[in-house]
Amino acid sequence: MKVAVYGRKLSSVLIPYVEELFSEMDNAGFEVVVYEPFYSALKQHSSSSYNYNSFTSAHEIKGKVDFLFSVGGDGTILDTLSLVQESGTPVMGINTGRLGFLSSISKYQISKAIDSLQKGHYTLDVRTLLRLETNRTLFGEVNYALNELTIHKKDSSSMIIIHTYLNGEYLNSYWADGLIISTPTGSTGYSLSCGGPIIMPRSENFVITPIAPHNLNVRPIVVSDKNIVSLEVEGRSQYFLASLDSRSVTIDSSIQLAVRREEFPLNLVRLDNENFMGTLRNKLMWGLDSRN
């Protein structure tokens, strides 16, 4: 089995867990390639010696590995999207961050996770993506997101207006600080913080959630992801922010934006004892009743 390992940062506190990960993979006979900046940090901080091949870009591993290990938090999982792209390579998230909603495998479960991979005791959690289409290139080849597209005012002075259409038919003009179009995965992120609903991962929907709307009658709306959501942005300021997950660019009112469901998904590895409802309760404290 060939696996790739990706991480952003490596602190001294995490060294024992990362060393355990590589030790378990070696014992399992995995062929391992490591993201070069992460590998350099590991060799600098660890007392152990390693002799793995490394990679620096997506084309070196895309479609060439059986699994990709993401070592970090949920933001690191979002980074892996640009590495696996449309290859379908499953991503296993080892959570060394805080919440770990997507990176659901604890750093204390590393041995169990490797054993489960070997025995096939896991499932693939298939997550839909959204794709952004524009009249000018904004995000290069990686014009898709796992969580959301966000349109936001660039400065703190005045709200913006986002005219929104479904398949060319007028939906609404949002007077607000911004607008979020999220996938079911993204419904538990920024959209939820702005009053949006929680959507089950297998739902075929988008959630359109305004950010601090000026009109009290405007609420989040759930639409089918078979729709194409088109946006026109205007405001007193000349420039606005467009974000796909954690990547942001500055746009102006001449940019035409359209969101649709991406043709390929992201596959996340889940151990057999994991499920979305349990994650909601354990990570977000959903339904927690202090009377119990």
- The answer to whether residue 254 scores a pLDDT higher than 80 is yes
Query: Which CATH fold would you assign to the domain 130-261?
Result: Tumour Suppressor Smad4 (2.60.200)
The pLDDT, as a whole number, for residue 97 is 74
Burial (0-12, 13-18, 19+ Cβ within 10 Å), 244: buried
User: What angle is formed at CA 21 by the lines to CA 117 and CA 126, rounded to 5 degrees?
Assistant: 40
The pLDDT, as a whole number, for residue 178 is 97
The pLDDT, as a whole number, for residue 29 is 95
Q: Looking at the annotation, which residues are catalytic?
A: 74
pLDDT (average), residues 46-60: 90
The pLDDT, as a whole number, for residue 85 is 92
For residues 242 and 249, is the Cβ–Cβ distance under 8 A?
Answer: yes
DSSP-based three-state secondary structure for 108 = helix
The one-character DSSP state at 198 is P
Q: Among the CATH numbers 2.60.120.20, 3.10.20.520, 3.40.50.10330, 3.30.70.580, which is that of 2-128+265-284?
A: 3.40.50.10330
Give the model's confidence band at 292: pLDDT under 50 very low, under 70 low, under 90 confident, else very high: low
- The answer to whether residue 162 scores a pLDDT higher than 80 is yes
- 99 or 35, higher pLDDT: 35
- For the entire predicted model, the pTM comes to 0.91
Sequence-distant (6+) residues with CB within 8 A of 217 are none
The segment(s) of the chain belonging to CATH 3.40.50.10330 are: 2-128+265-284
pLDDT in tens, 103-144: 878 889 999 999 999 999 999 999 999 999 999 889 988 999
The segment(s) of the chain belonging to CATH 2.60.200.30 are: 130-261
91-95 and 67-72 strand pairing: parallel
Burial (0-12, 13-18, 19+ Cβ within 10 Å), 260: middle
> What is the four-CA torsion angle of 21, 23, 26, 30, rounded to 10 degrees?
0
The pLDDT, as a whole number, for residue 252 is 93
CA distance 204 to 195: 20
